[in-house]
Amino acid sequence: MSRSSGMLRLRQQQMMAALLTGDNTITGHIAGDHNLDAQQRLSIYQSGYRLRLREVIDNDHPVLGSYLGDELFEQMVEGYIEAVPSRYRSLRYYCDPLPEYLYQDAFFSQYPHISELARFERSLLSSFDAPDRETASPEELQQLAPQRWPGMQLRFHPSLQLFTSQYNTVEIWQAIKAEQTPPDPTRQPGCWGIWRNRERLTEFRSVAPLEQHLIDSFLQGESFATAAEITAANVGEATAAAELLSILVRWLELGWVSLLADKATPPRLNMAKSPKF
C-alpha cells in the first residue's frame, strides 16, 4: 500500500470515528474558512449522520413510533443509534437489530411486547421486499396423479414468514394503524402468517397450531405422507384427508406455495419468532 493510500485510509477511519463515537481527531485535517471553522464543519456531518439514521427508524417503524409517543421514541432512537452504528451499505437493513435491542435494553425489556411490535413491523417490511417467484395454483394440486401424492413436497414463496408472539401484539398494531386506542398488552400467544399477495400488497392472517406444524414439517423437507400423519394425529384419521386438502388449497389460494415437486431441497422460511436466550 502506498503512503498516499495509507493516509487516505487513516483519514477515512478518523472520519468514521468522528461520526460513530464523537472522536474529533480528524478536526485538525479539516479546512475551515471565515464562515465555518473546522469543528463546525465536522459537526454538520455528525448531526447529519444521526438525523439520517433517525429518519430511517421513523420511516421503518411508524406504528411503533405512534405507540411509544414522542418522548419514549426519542429515548429509543438515541439509545439505538449509540448502541448500533450503521454497518450496512444500504440503510434498508439498519433497523434489523432493533427488536433485539428493545428486548435487551434495560428499560424497554420491561415491556417485551414493544420488542414484538418492532419485530412485527420488520416482518411486514421483509415480506414486502422479498424476491418475486411464481406461485402454484389449486389446479396443479388437482392434476396430481394419486400415486405422486405421498412423495410430494412444497416450496414456499419467499415472502411468507411465520410471526410468533407471546402478547396481543398484532391487535395493538391493528388498532394503532386504524388510529384507534390500542388495547392494553396481555399475554396471548399466537402465530401469524405474513406474505405479499399477488397484487403486491402485504397481508397477514392467524395460523392455527396444525398449520404451523405442517409448515415446519414441509420446511424440513418432509412429504405429503408425513403431513397426512401429522394431520391424522391432530384431527383423527376419519377427517384427516379432507382437512389436509382444505389446508393445502387455502395455502395455494393465498399464494403461499411457489412449487409442488416430487423431490426438493428443504426450503427456508424466515421465521420471525421470539428470541431465545
Mean pLDDT of 206-220: 95
Indicate if the pLDDT at residue 29 is higher than 60.
Answer: no
Beta-carbon neighbour count of residue 2 at 10 Å?
7
pLDDT at 79: 95
Does residue 100 have a pLDDT over 90?
yes
SS3 34: coil
Amino acid at residue number 246? S
Most confident listed range (37-41, 54-58, 90-94)? 54-58
Q: What are the pLDDT digits (tens) for 221-275? A: 899 999 999 999 999 999 999 999 999 999 999 999 987 777 544 444 444 544 3
> Sheet holding 187-196: strands in order across?
202-206, 187-196, 161-167, 270-272
pTM of the entire predicted model: 0.79
